[in-house]
Amino acid sequence: MPGLGLPQRVKKIVEGGESAHVSRVRVAGVISVCAAICVPLVAITTTRTVAMQTNSSNDKAGSSFEVASIKPTAPDWTRGRYIRMEGAHEFVVRNHVLRTLIAAAYNLNPKTVSGGPTWVDSDHFDVVAETPGKTPPAYDEQMTMLQKLLTDRFALKFHREQKDLPVYALRIAKGGPKLKASTSSSDVFPEGPPPLLFTVSLPTVRLPARYATMAELASVFQRAVLDRPAVDETGLSGRYDFDLEFTPDETEWDGAFAGRVGNESDKPGLYTAIQEQLGIKLEATTGPVDTLVIDQIEKPTAN
């Protein structure tokens, strides 16, 4: 959009809509296709008393978006829910409620975000923002900008608590890991390693991971796929290249694919696939989890 200033470019993006839907959707990290979970915090088995981080709006200072437009999601929007970069400097959020947006910004499962008024779970928002600088921001920087937007535009304040919750533990399966050490190095990624990207082409979901850690794998599972937090208990500290393929079920992505996957897939479900393909297993258990409690939140002014 040459010749337009930043506010005009954002306005054109918002009003102009998006290109036609394609059958293959790439989904980054926090990021899910029809995926973020929109339910209140589940019942907690045990609550621990911990030193809390109080009256905090965001955990770290950082850069901010040059300009951002926040609008309610159109009632006729049918193309799912996601957060992603579109082009070098366009950061786009579609169809997110505030609880899932906060969870994405702070690398949490939505069920570990509690508090706030009812509209935190009911009102859906779109965000179109321009990122600063000459190069596209790394994923961590995008999330720092999103944290600042939540503080500045939604007046978010919160504190942290540690609670015992149902979790999935990522552990080494019987027979040991089937992971290949990455052939890349940090020199290849001067701006930081690439985020893990899901490729959704129903009935199959693919995760072609490169230079990834098990902690990053657990993180992307809890943000985008699983219905509870995930923790890495593999003890593996290396970086790996792998390709994970599985068939989603109705418990994943908040049931987004329920009824859309028939018997035509030749790929196993996630829990079998991760064990057969990576030598890793996901085990349901209970454990201490860092949670975020909303103390203050306000609806943004229209723009």
Span 228-277, pLDDT tens digits:
999 999 999 999 999 999 999 888 887 778 777 776 778 999 999 999 99
- Whether 48 has a pLDDT exceeding 60, the answer reads no
Per-residue pLDDT band at 190 (split at 50, 70, 90): low
Q: What is the pTM of this model?
A: 0.74
Q: Are residues 145 and 219 in the same domain?
A: no
Q: Are residues 51 and 131 in the same domain?
A: yes
Phi, psi of 130 (to 5 degrees): -105, 130
Measured distance CA(37)–CA(225) in Å, rounded:
9
Q: Running DSSP on this structure, what letter comes out for residue 29?
A: T
Structure tokens at 118: 């009812």
- Whether 32 has a pLDDT exceeding 60, the answer reads no
Q: Are residues 151 and 171 in the same domain?
A: no
On average, the pLDDT of the chain sits at: 81
Give tens-digit pLDDT for 275-296: 999 999 999 999 999 999 999 9
CA 21 to chain CA centroid, Å, is: 21
Structure tokens at 13: 């993006």
Give strand pairing partners of 124.
97
pLDDT at residue 197 in the model: 78
Residues with Cβ within 8 Å of 74's Cβ and at least 6 positions away in sequence, in order, are 126
Q: Are residues 73 and 127 in the same domain?
A: yes
Give strand pairing partners of 172.
280
* Number of domains comprising the chain: 2
- Whether 15 has a pLDDT exceeding 50, the answer reads no
Measured distance CA(119)–CA(125) in Å, rounded:
11
- Whether 155 has a pLDDT exceeding 50, the answer reads yes
Residues with Cβ within 8 Å of 61's Cβ and at least 6 positions away in sequence, in order, are none
Give tens-digit pLDDT for 83-93: 999 988 999 99
- pLDDT over 70, % of the chain: 77
Q: Are residues 132 and 174 in the same domain?
A: no
Q: Which domain-ending residue is among 112, 131, 158?
A: 158
Q: Are residues 50 and 120 in the same domain?
A: yes
- Whether 185 has a pLDDT exceeding 60, the answer reads yes
pLDDT at residue 192 in the model: 66
pLDDT at residue 79 in the model: 82
Q: Are residues 189 and 102 in the same domain?
A: no
In a domain, residue 301? The reply is: no
> What is the mean pLDDT of the segment spanning 9-37?
38
Give tens-digit pLDDT for 62-120: 589 999 999 999 999 988 788 999 988 999 999 999 999 999 999 999 999 999 999 99
Q: Are residues 197 and 242 in the same domain?
A: yes
Q: Are residues 136 and 190 in the same domain?
A: no
- Whether 27 has a pLDDT exceeding 60, the answer reads no
- What would you measure as the largest C-alpha separation in the chain, in angstroms? 60
Per-residue pLDDT band at 167 (split at 50, 70, 90): very high
